[in-house]
A and B are shown apart, each in its own frame.
Chain A
Amino acid sequence: AQTVTQSQPEMSVQEAETVTLSCTYDTSESDYYLFWYKQPPSRQMILVIRQEAYKQQNATENRFSVNFQKAAKSFSLKISDSQLGDAAMYFCAYRALDSNYQLIWGAGTKLIIKP
């Protein structure tokens, strides 16, 4: 069975600096999708970035980028120029390419931004 592990329950970073959140996963599949979601105190779940496993190029979305290491089954999220609004829980999620398309979630990392 697939699993997703986020080994950092909490991270803190100074405003304007860069922080990297870790995510590893276990799967025997060769094709799949990976996602990072953000959950601010408002409780909404917001998509940050996604990566298709067949793409070698790392996905980027403005200040957010990933380091996707397929052989190592690692999918870390880098946030550049951290802002106070980035403070939230961040969840990593895996989706297999089967007919059900369900997500498997990590336990989350709480990101604290220090002003």
Chain B
Amino acid sequence: NAGVTQTPKFQVLKTGQSMTLQCAQDMNHEYMSWYRQDPGMGLRLIHYSVGAGITDQGEVPNGYNVSRSTTEDFPLRLLSAAPSQTSVYFCASHEGGNQPQHFGDGTRLSIL
């Protein structure tokens, strides 16, 4: 049972480069989210989805795009990487209600 799978685990980019962080879940969860975690701060919501074809912005969406073409996949795209986007990124999924979020192992992203 894989749960939530994030790739890659580590990535170094140069300023201005673009890339996609992959997230896949095999639990048939409708709800998926992307967070960033910075030192001394809680997780901040970037984008989320309540089902295939439906996405919305979270607290810190600027510089990121998402799409949800299938229930399983929820990729996060950095359009033009900036040093301020250096962070650890987490993808999560859940069933809604009182069910907890299931997290991937995170991606440590450094922008030089």
Q: Given contacts A44-B105, A99-B50, A102-B58, are A33 and B42 in contact (CB under 8 A)?
A: no
Residues 89 to 105 of chain B near chain A (Cβ within 8 Å): 90, 92, 94, 96-98, 100-101, 103, 105
- B17-53 interface bits toward A, Cβ cutoff 8 Å, 1 = contact, 0 = none: 0000000000000010100000011111100101000
Pairwise interchain contact B100-A100, C-beta atoms closer than 8 A: no
Bound-state CA distance A50–B100 (Å) is 8
Pairwise interchain contact A107-B100, C-beta atoms closer than 8 A: no
Q: Which residues of A contact B58 (CB under 8 A)?
A: 102
Pairwise interchain contact B43-A102, C-beta atoms closer than 8 A: no
Q: Which residues of B contact A47 (CB under 8 A)?
A: 100-101
Pairwise interchain contact A43-B106, C-beta atoms closer than 8 A: yes
Bound-state CA distance A102–B93 (Å) is 10
A45 touches which one: B40, B45, B103 (CB < 8 A)?
B103
B103 touches which one: A44, A50, A102, A107 (CB < 8 A)?
A44
Bound-state CA distance A33–B100 (Å) is 10
Q: Which residues of A contact B42 (CB under 8 A)?
A: 4, 6, 91, 93, 105-108
Bound-state CA distance A47–B4 (Å) is 14
Bound-state CA distance A111–B94 (Å) is 27
Q: Which residues of B contact A68 (CB under 8 A)?
A: none
**A residues adjacent to B (C-beta < 8 A):** 4, 6, 9, 33, 35, 43-45, 47, 50, 52, 91, 93, 99-103, 105-108
**B residues adjacent to A (C-beta < 8 A):** 31, 33, 40-45, 48, 50, 56, 58, 88, 90, 92, 94, 96-98, 100-101, 103, 105-106
Q: Known pairs A101-B31, A106-B42. 8 more at Cβ < 8 A?
A: A4-B42, A33-B97, A43-B105, A47-B101, A50-B98, A99-B50, A102-B58, A105-B44
